[in-house]
Structure 1
């Protein structure tokens, strides 16, 4: 059919395959929730059809309005939000709930794409840097105030898109160094860490002494960087002490193991690993998983849904799912790079990067490589807000790609 020539069949197939496999696994955990997820899937297809009937320019022209609405929904959580599992990040309407942060990400992606594709954007100028930081930072600050640390981490995805558009790689280097100092300071005496930082700085100065143009600014820069990292190392244990008990334990689980907290924050991880490990190569069979059917993992239909795959479908099924995600995310990046429109390209990179961070953090959580922070597995974790938001982003990009492929420009 001629009208279907601009559709990317591979990415559409992967979206449908992952979504339907998710419904199957949620149904195994809880049949009623599985039926609801199927309804969410059908609603998403209807919404996708509506998106395909819209004009492509709609997303550019209304990007700022969608962005502002997303921020207002986040701010509205403070007076009108409902607290669920210790976080006030939900709206409740009768028997339905809605998590606005999932939809706010769409607004940020559209707004960022709109600004970057405009004539005034150039990361060599401070105005452009400050503008993109404001676009990302305003909703991020609100999310931090909720607080929703997991969703806050996802906002790093937008910097991956900006890297494609010229953001210096030093940004990620600085983030990596800060993260490394924080994590090391949790396991080692901060004074040793500060000593190590001092040695590294002295080596840098020694090896580059004649290459650096020494003046007041360069000396202040070196001294300021050292003091910042030293202060972070010294303050990290104190920050940990002031965290709520359940958040502190989620971080300590990484160092002490889940068995040390088997009755509290390590409980989910302990049984998650048990479920995944017991699946063997081909799994125990659909609805035959003892951990899954015994309801040993709380919230297994949401953040920990991957352990159901590991137990019932085994290493083979889990690996196949990982491959599907990897190919899907890689395909979105590939299609984004091929776009003629800068707006389309930036949105594609934002979308793929959000998927990537969600996917990496969620799998890291269920395998004990990352603290539990409440990050859903895209399309797979139960929840109407998450599934609908990811589907909206998916269909917007499918629409943009379709229009781009059929464009004569």
Structure 2
């Protein structure tokens, strides 16, 4: 049929396959929640169809309104939010809850896409860079004040989209260096790190001696960078000591193992790894997981839903799910690169990057490679607001891609 030309059937299949498989796994954990998730999925698809019938320019023209609404929803949490599991990042309406940070991501993605695709944007211009940082930073500061560290980490996804548009790779390099120094300083004596940094800086200077225009400015930059990293190395243990107990233990689990905190922050991870490991290659079978059926993992239907896949479907099922996510995210990146519209391309990169960060952190968290930070698995973790928000982003991109493919320009 002619009207179906431009609809990316591969992406739609992957979206539905992941979402339906999610309903089945949530149903295995809790039948009532599984039925609710199916209702949420039907609502999400209905909203997606409405989005697909809307004018394409609507999302670009009203991006600033979506952005402001998202920020206001976040600010409204302070007087009107409900605290759940120690975080005041939910609105509660009767028997329903809504997490506004999921919708704030949509607003930021639309606003970034609108600004970056504008005629005055140039990342080599400081004004453009600072404006992008402000668009990302304003909601990020509110999220930090909640505090919701997990959602704050997801905002790093927008820098991947900016990198595609010309942001220097040094931003990621600096971030990686800071994170590495902080984490390593928690395990070894900071003096060793200072020595290692001195050697690294000496080698950099040695190999770039004739390439750099040495003056007081460049010397000062190197000296300040070295001193700041050394200061971070000594400050890291103190920073950890002053964190709230649950946050501190979540990081310490990475170094001491989950068994050292089996009655507190390591409990979920211990049984999550037990469930995944017990599944073997083919799994124990649907609704046959002893850890899942025994409800040993608290809130298993949300952030730790992947361990249900590992236990009941085994390594084979988990691999298929990971493959589906990889194909879906890769497909969104591929389609984004094909867009003729700058707005479409940037939004696609924002969307795919958000999915990738969520996916990598959640799986790393469930397998003990990353601290527990409360990041849901997109389309898979139980929750109406999360599924609806990810579905809205999905169908916005489907609509943008459809319009782009049928454009004569």
Determine the structure 2 residue equivalent to 1:9.
Answer: 9
| Equivalent-residue separation in structure 2 for 1:319 and 1:270 (angstroms) | 21
Quick one: distance in 2 between partners of 1:190 and 1:149?
25
What is the 5 A alignment of 1:283-362? Answer: 283-362=283-362
Structure 1 residues 86-125: aligned runs within 5 Å: 86-125=86-125
Partner of 1:277: 277
Cα distance in 2 for residues equivalent to 1:173 and 1:285: 44
- 1:92 deviates by 0.8
Equivalent residue number for residue 385 of structure 1: 385
Quick one: distance in 1 between partners of 2:53 and 2:238?
54
CA distance in 1, matches of 2:379, 2:114: 26
Distance 1:146 1:123 in 2: 30
Separation in structure 1 between the aligned mates of residue 408 and residue 242 of structure 2, nearest angstrom: 59
Could you tell me which residue of structure 1 aligns to residue 137 of structure 2? 137
- For residues 204 and 10 of structure 2, what CA distance do their matches in structure 1 show? 48
Match of 2:230 in 1: 230
Partners of 1:18 and 1:323 lie apart in 2 by: 11
Q: By how many angstroms is 1:199 displaced?
A: 2.1
Determine the structure 2 residue equivalent to 1:366.
Answer: 366
User: CA offset at residue 156 of structure 1?
Assistant: 0.7
The separation in 1 between residues aligned to 2:109 and 2:211, in whole angstroms, is 41
Specify every segment of 5 or more residues in structure 2 that has no aligned partner in the other structure, as ranges. Answer: none
| Equivalent position SS for 1:301 | coil
Q: CA deviation at 1:5?
A: 1.1
The Cα of 1:213 is off from its aligned counterpart by 1.7
What is the RMSD of the two structures over their aligned residues, measured on CA atoms? 0.8
Name the structure 2 match of 1:212: 212
Aligned mates of 1:27, 1:65 — CA distance in 2: 37
Corresponding residue SS for 1:187: coil
Q: What is the distance in 1 between the residues matched to 2:33 and 2:4?
A: 34
Corresponding residue number in structure 2 for 1:267: 267
Matched length: 409
SS of corresponding position for 1:92: strand
- The 3-state SS of whatever aligns with 1:285 is coil
Q: What stretches of structure 1 move > 3 A for 4+ residues in a row?
A: none
Deviation, 1:223, is: 1.1
**Counterparts of 1:244 and 1:134, CA distance in 2:** 28
Alignment partner of 1:147 is 2:147: yes
> Whole-Å Cα distance in 2 between the matches of residues 207 and 347 of structure 1?
40
Q: After alignment, is 184-193 or 203-212 more displaced?
A: 203-212
Aligned counterparts of 2:376 and 2:139: Cα–Cα separation in 1: 19
> For residue 257 of structure 2, what is the aligned residue in structure 1?
257
Structure 2 counterpart SS, 1:89: strand
> What secondary structure sits across from 2:381 in the alignment?
coil
> Aligned equivalents of 1:339 and 1:209: distance in 2?
43
CA distance in 2, matches of 1:265, 1:24: 28
**1:190, distance to aligned residue in structure 2 (A):** 1.3
Structure 1 CA distance, aligned partners of 2:207 and 2:333? 39
| CA displacement at 1:298 relative to structure 2 | 0.5
Matches within 5 A, 1:167-178: 167-178=167-178
- 2: CA distance, partners of 1:134 / 1:319: 39
Match of 1:394 in 2: 394
Higher mean C-alpha deviation, range 194-203 or range 267-276: 194-203
Structure 1 residue 201, shift from structure 2 partner: 1.5
Corresponding residue number in structure 1 for 2:61: 61
The normalised TM-score by structure 1 is 0.99
Q: For residue 405 of structure 2, what is the aligned residue in structure 1?
A: 405
